[in-house]
Amino acid sequence: MNESLISRRTLGVTFTADGATVRVWAPLAETLSIRLCQQDLVIPLQNDGSYWQTTTDQLQSGDTYTFVLNNVERSDPASLSQPEGVHGPSQAIDTARFVWTDANWANIPLDEYLMYELHTGTFSPEGTFAGIEAKLDYFVELGINAIELMPVAQFPGTRNWGYDGVCPYAVQNSYGGAAGLQQLVDACHRKGLAVILDVVYNHMGPEGNHFTDYGPYFTNKHRTPWGDALNFDDTDSDNVRRYFVENVLMWFRDFHIDALRLDAVHAIHDESDLHILREIKQYTDLLMQETGRQHYLIIESDQNETRFIQPIASDGYGMDAQWNDEFHHALRVTAGGERSGYYADYEGIRHLAKSYRDAYVYDGTYMARRAKIVGKSTASHPGQQFVVFSQNHDQIGNRMLGERPSQLVSFSMQKLMAGAVMSSPFLPMLFMGEEWGELNPFLYFVSHSDPSLIEAVRQGRKREFAAFQTSVEAPDPQAEQTFDQSKLMWDRLTQEPHQTLFRYYQTLLALRKQSSLRHPNRESVAVVMDEVKQTLTLIRQHQPDASLVC
Amino acid sequence: MNESLISRRTLGVTFTADGATVRVWAPLAETLSIRLCQQDLVIPLQNDGSYWQTTTDQLQSGDTYTFVLNNVERSDPASLSQPEGVHGPSQAIDTARFVWTDANWANIPLDEYLMYELHTGTFSPEGTFAGIEAKLDYFVELGINAIELMPVAQFPGTRNWGYDGVCPYAVQNSYGGAAGLQQLVDACHRKGLAVILDVVYNHMGPEGNHFTDYGPYFTNKHRTPWGDALNFDDTDSDNVRRYFVENVLMWFRDFHIDALRLDAVHAIHDESDLHILREIKQYTDLLMQETGRQHYLIIESDQNETRFIQPIASDGYGMDAQWNDEFHHALRVTAGGERSGYYADYEGIRHLAKSYRDAYVYDGTYMARRAKIVGKSTASHPGQQFVVFSQNHDQIGNRMLGERPSQLVSFSMQKLMAGAVMSSPFLPMLFMGEEWGELNPFLYFVSHSDPSLIEAVRQGRKREFAAFQTSVEAPDPQAEQTFDQSKLMWDRLTQEPHQTLFRYYQTLLALRKQSSLRHPNRESVAVVMDEVKQTLTLIRQHQPDASLVC
């Protein structure tokens, strides 16, 4: 491990007393200069192996710049800001300028996390970090204690879930940029809220993606649904790994992010002895030793393979927790209506009971859709390693019409599902608006500028839902209306039955904090299933004297 | 684990008292029948999940058959014999008919293995297993105790190194087929010789490859130099894994093969919790418990990652040994002349000394060609886990003109290299003919029948050597002459200086068996290097009282 990475970012532009240091990994560059846009000045970088660098007093925080790479102008792969979007110049940002006021903040113990996933662009009327900040008292009133931001890395245009980001170090300009994010995190910490950031280390978005001009960021040794895999184990992969390790450290150190949610790690391909997730954990541990702050790594994985969440000391990758989609699938099937696609592998109440007991539904059992034995036993893993929910951005947004459960199941069923999540011996997560039964959909939306890409996304979406085709057309992902329709309608909170549901969520969250439910203790969970009556009784206990029957 | 796999093969045609059982994995089949060629009879198979099967008394050992799969006629993926080549019908073979006479044979302890790699087609004038059998006394006279056969799985035509095999269960008809191989192994065992078989589990050859008609044998999740990877971890991979596990067990159980050499395992992609090599080892262990016979798994890997050869109990894959190409590279650079291609990463004597000490040259060090830190320390691994050589089929045959060291270095240098290999604390391996300094090349040859494939191979070969282009053209791989030129010239053994070299090898092998060299004991190796004089002194010791200075 390279301990010098802990104290400061080395990639991109960083500021010290000597001025700005510029550093970029570009083994494919023959020549490389930085062009300072305001000064209209071009400074050649010195080649130091596969890295290029220089130090200059001409570049100030806030200035824009580009790299001139083999005579072509490109943004910085480690750009912290793209004020004119992914196609524009990069902007130097001195992250140390932000004055933090959260010195007294200590991360919440993971087993007490009560999470709330939100999409910055559609959560508030403003669609910005400031819009979220205006709602912090609301979160406290609701009773959650950790917000999870869908990815904020710069993406094309202003409308995107965030998984098309192409500047993993840059904070989306239309959300409020780097300073806006720092401001939000600081404000959250003052209110006692932790911040989880969703990061995408399994692919980069297609538009504005110039990584291959710089170096072998990708390898054709492995393939993902988005094309060639990021290069974590092929030629020159050490520097790609370092690029992502520095990214992790940046969020924790320079943005005070409390936890990362790593998107779809099953699409991160790495056959080297030291898996990249394990290396990320090692560096995170080193950072935590250095700063005394606690940070968590939470993965999304569809593999049901416990090596991801096994501690490093037991030869695992050391991830703190993982999303457990299977609890969701079993719950939704139990709630009725869902049978097709990935739901086909899930029976209702029997699988829900299994998930309460065993976390994974498939834990060494044959799964028809994959036509193989899937999963491992989670017996030795505590409840806090599994994040559960009755809905999330994917489960809603990957439906053709983006319907939330509020549009699919009865009011009582919504309450029952909320209770099912909250009473589980796992970590509960809400999706923005579910607490008042928001009726607006959460649709898939983009705002690309490349016409052929727009068409490809449209067609892809149509193909995906060809089987579902009814009289209704799949909404156009590129249309502004699709985005607008997906915004939360805060007015509903003042109306019934939304208000009642909100109070129900408040009560549930309070109960979770004050009762035996507080501790996601898997050892003392009793699940009694009645298949005839289709009921499930859950007995949760933490201390011998206090048990709760749900 | 499925213990029933241990006792008998289940795939393809097997014979019991009830007649022939036919079983094939074909999840992509809508209809599937077996056509018995001699009887001109078509019998439908019953669909049992993704397997199809039937039992018939119409099919006898020796009869030919095809499968009629969705109305297309195809050979059996688990065919044991292809009497008319890869494009012809399959032939049922009752492997139990062979009468073994090796009941008293016990495999040689791995640390005593003295290996001799050979290519069946070019080793003897006959180019057959019988041709090898005629030379068994020769092997004994030479002093090796294990022959390693380059792959014998059915390949297109009659001329091929064996890595284009498309019937992993069928023994090349032109070599003598299944019975011929059984006969050879039995004869070897009677002479005290072990038999190692090279098997290819990282790809299938292109010609005659109909696997994708049957099922998802391949996945585009991973890519290899030969295209989509074999599917060891994607949808329906359990049955692909089983196909290869049964193949391993067949060679050991039904052909009495002593060890397998698994080709290029770095191109076997598997990110599941249970790596396929580990599963192969588990089944091999089970078989050995059952039969009481010992079998070894030896891998070719370019990864220098010790998890492959780590015991299963220590979370490794449990492979017994691996080829150590790096010893070869360092030795060849030391011997002079080699600097380009993969040799560029190897210095001479310093790296040779390192390899004597540490097995891997790169064991946690930066390698320029891969532009990353490569390898792990082998400190805890005994010398018997590393196979070393001064030449092999790849190192010779992947040169444009296929020159052996005999054509590249002086007579004394050949002797020095042989001594360097034999005195190492690792397992030595010779390549056929090196023991008399064969002067014929070992070229790359094929005998495809598909004209576009022939042209592609020709062009590929030309491209590969474009940089080396001198006045000489790269030999045509498809030409019969290229194959003929690669045959050993046994007459040379009666001539000088070949006879002298042969006696030198004899002496070295005898010394290896009778001195401290016998035990590949890494603990008591002292390597003294003089960079100025370019000499290396190796002190080998096994018991305190007997040491040998080389």
Say what the pLDDT of residue A468 is.
62
Nearest to A370 among B235, B269, B369 (CB): B235
Two tokens at A181? 């994010």
Q: Residue type at A325?
A: D
Catalytic residue among B117, B186, B228, B263: B263
Query: What Å distances lie between residue B484 and A43, B10, B149, B430, B477, CA to CA?
Result: 62, 39, 19, 21, 11
Q: Both tokens of residue A264?
A: 């779809």
Question: Residues for chain B: how many in total?
Answer: 550
Choose among A237, A271, A372: nearest Cβ to B236.
Answer: A372
Please, what is the Cα angle at A385 between A382 and A386, to 5 degrees?
110
Please report the pLDDT score of residue A323 as a whole number. 98
Q: Are the C-beta atoms of B154 and B203 separated by less than 8 Å? A: no
Say whether residue A275 is in contact with chain B using an 8 A CB cutoff. Answer: no
| Residue A221 touches partner B, C-beta closer than 8 Å | yes
Strand partners, B137: none
Q: Which helix (H) or strand (E) holds A374?
A: strand A372-374
Sign of CA dihedral A66, A70, A71, A74: negative
Question: How do residues A275-322 score in pLDDT, each as one tens digit?
Answer: 999 999 999 999 999 999 999 999 999 989 999 999 999 999 999 999
CA separation for the pair A243, A257 (Å, rounded): 18
Which of the residues A235, A342, A372, A376 would you substitute to probe the B interface, choosing the one with the greatest number of B C-beta atoms within 10 Å? A372
What does the pLDDT average to over B463-481?
A: 82
Residues forming CATH 3.20.20.80 domain(s) in chain A: 113-449+459-524
Residues B238, B209, B155, B118, CA torsion sign: negative
- The full DSSP string for B252-321 is HHHS---EEEETTGGG----SSS-HHHHHHHHHHHHHHHH----EEEE--SS--GGGTS-GGGTS---SE
How are the residues of chain B apportioned to helix, strand and coil, as percentages rounded to the nearest 5? 35, 20, 45
Q: Answer yes or no: do B222 and A371 touch at CB < 8 A.
A: no
Structural tokens at position A469: 């085709």
Lookup result for tokens 């998984």: A163
A159-172 residue pLDDT tens: 999 999 999 999 99
Burial (CB count within 10 angstroms: exposed 0-12, middle 13-18, buried 19+), residue B340:
exposed
Q: Tell me if the bond preceding A497 is cis, omega within 30° of 0.
A: yes
Give the C-alpha separation, A267 to A32, whole Å: 32
Contact check, Cβ <8 Å, B372/A50: no
Q: Say whether residue B373 is in contact with chain A using an 8 A CB cutoff.
A: yes
Please answer yes or no on whether A372 and B269 come within 8 Å at the CB atom. Answer: no
Is A101 an interface residue toward B (CB < 8 Å)? no
How near does any CA of chain A get to the CA of B315, in Å? 8
Asked whether the beta carbons of B146 and B113 are under 8 A apart, the reply is: yes
Q: Is residue A470 predicted with pLDDT exceeding 70?
A: no
Question: A531 pLDDT band (50/70/90 cuts)?
Answer: confident
pLDDT at A469 over 60: no
Residues of chain A with CATH 2.60.40.10: 4-97
| Region A113-449+459-524: CATH code | 3.20.20.80
From the list A235, A307, A371, which residue is nearest B235 (CB)? A371
What's the angle, vertex CA B155, arms to CA B149 and CA B161, rounded to 5? 45
B195 three-class SS = strand
Higher pLDDT: B82 or B524? It is B82
Asked if residue A545 has pLDDT above 70, the reply is no
Judged by CB atoms closer than 8 Å, whether chains meet at B369 and A235 is answered as yes
Q: Is the pLDDT of residue B469 over 60?
A: no
Active site residue A186: no
- Specify the 3-state DSSP secondary structure of B116: strand
C-beta atoms of A371 and B27 within 8 A = yes
Indicate the average pLDDT of chain A.
Answer: 94
Residues 228-257 of chain A with CB under 8 A from chain B are 235-239
In this prediction, residue B541 carries a pLDDT of 76
Question: Which is more confidently placed, B508 or A550?
Answer: B508
Nearest by CB to residue A371, choosing from B50, B307, B370, is: B50
Q: Which residue has the higher pLDDT, A546 or B44?
A: B44
A455-464, A534-543, B276-285: least confident range = A534-543
To the nearest whole percent, how much of chain B has pLDDT over 70?
Answer: 98
Assembly ipTM: 0.88
pLDDT digits (tens, 9 = 90+) for B485-507: 999 999 999 999 999 999 999 99
Tell me which chain A residues have a C-beta less than 8 angstroms from the C-beta of B235.
Answer: 369-372
Q: What is the pLDDT of residue A464?
A: 80
- Catalytic residue of the set A117, A300, A345, A394: A300
Burial class (CB in 10 A: 0-12, 13-18, 19+), A463: exposed
pLDDT-derived band at A87 (thresholds 50, 70, 90) equals: very high
Q: How many A×B Cβ pairs under 8 Å?
A: 60
pLDDT at B2: 87
Whether A398 shows a pLDDT value over 70: the answer reads yes
Per-residue DSSP letters for A58-92?
S--TT-EEEEEETTEEE--TT-S--TT-TTS-EE-
Per-residue pLDDT averaged across B228-237, rounded?
97
Contact A372 B221 (CB under 8 A): no
pLDDT of B550 reads 67
Q: If we measure between CA atoms, which residue out of A265, A206, A121, A155 comes closest to residue A460?
A: A206
pLDDT the model gives residue B545: 58
Higher pLDDT pick, B535 / B24: B24
Cβ–Cβ gap A222/B220 under 8 Å: no
CATH fold for domain B4-97: Immunoglobulin-like (2.60.40)
Active site residue A263: yes
Average pLDDT over residues A53-79: 96
Contact B269 A272 (CB under 8 A): no
pLDDT attached to residue A351: 95
Q: Chain B within 8 Å of A84 (Cβ-Cβ)?
A: no
Return the DSSP state at B483: H
Q: Does A35 touch chain B (CB under 8 A)?
A: no
Whether pLDDT at B337 is above 80:
no
pLDDT of residue B470: 66
- Residue A467 has which token pair? 């089987």
CB B301 within 8 A of CB B280: no
Check B307 against A273: CB less than 8 A apart.
Answer: yes
Of A238, A269, A270, nearest to B373 by CB-CB distance is A238
pLDDT of residue B18: 86
Bridge-partner residues for A251, per DSSP? none
Secondary structure of residue B424 in the 3-state scheme = coil
B273 and A371: CB-CB below 8 Å? no
Kindly indicate the confidence band of residue B340, based on its pLDDT and cuts at 50, 70 and 90. Answer: confident
* CA pair distance B320, B303, nearest whole angstrom: 16
Sign of the Cα torsion A369, A370, A376, A381 reads negative
Residues B272, A305: C-beta atoms closer than 8 Å: yes
Task: Find the CB nearest A271 among B50, B269, B273.
Answer: B269
DSSP character at residue B151: P
User: Rounded to the nearest 5 degrees, what angle is found at the Cα of B327, between the Cα atoms of B321 and B329?
Assistant: 130
HSE, CB side, 13 Å, CA atoms: give it for residue B187: 18
Chain A nearest CA to B305, separation (Å): 6
Contact B113, B427 (CB under 8 A): yes
Is residue B230 a contact partner of residue B268, using CB atoms and an 8 Å limit? yes
What is the mean pLDDT of the segment spanning A139-149?
Answer: 98
- The CA dihedral of B506, B510, B515, B517, to the nearest 10 degrees, is 60
> What are the CA-CA distances from residue B525 to residues B175, B384, B425 (Å)?
42, 14, 7
pLDDT value of position A4: 87
Chain A residue with Cα closest to B233: A372
Annotated catalytic residue: which of B63, B300, B325, B345? B300
How far apart CA B378 and CA B370 sit, in angstroms, is: 20
Summarised one tens digit per residue, pLDDT across range B54-86 is 999 999 999 999 999 999 999 999 999 999 999
Yes or no, beta carbons of B222 and A222 under 8 Å apart: yes
CA distance A307 to chain B (A): 7
Using CA coordinates, name the residue in chain A closest to B227.
A221
Q: Of B266, B205, B273, B198, which Cα lies nearest the Cα of B241? A: B273
Instruction: Give A48→chain B minimum CA distance, Å.
Output: 14
Report pLDDT for A474.
Answer: 85
pLDDT at A546 over 70: no
State which H helix or E strand residue B414 sits in.
Answer: helix B411-422
Q: Which residues pair with A526 in a beta bridge?
A: A539
As a whole number of angstroms, the distance between CA B187 and CA B202 comes to: 30
- B398-to-A349, B280, B392 alpha-carbon distances in Å: 61, 30, 10
For A172-182, the pLDDT digits (tens) are 999 999 999 99
CB nearest B222 (choices: A221, A272, A306) = A221
Task: Confirm or reject contact between B368 and chain A (CB < 8 A).
Answer: no
Which of these, B455, B475, B442, lies nearest to B118 by C-alpha position?
A: B442
**Tell me, what's the pLDDT at B175?**
98
Distance CA B194, CA A524 (A): 58
Distance from C-alpha of B9 to C-alpha of B25, rounded to nearest angstrom = 13
Residue-level pLDDT at B461: 85
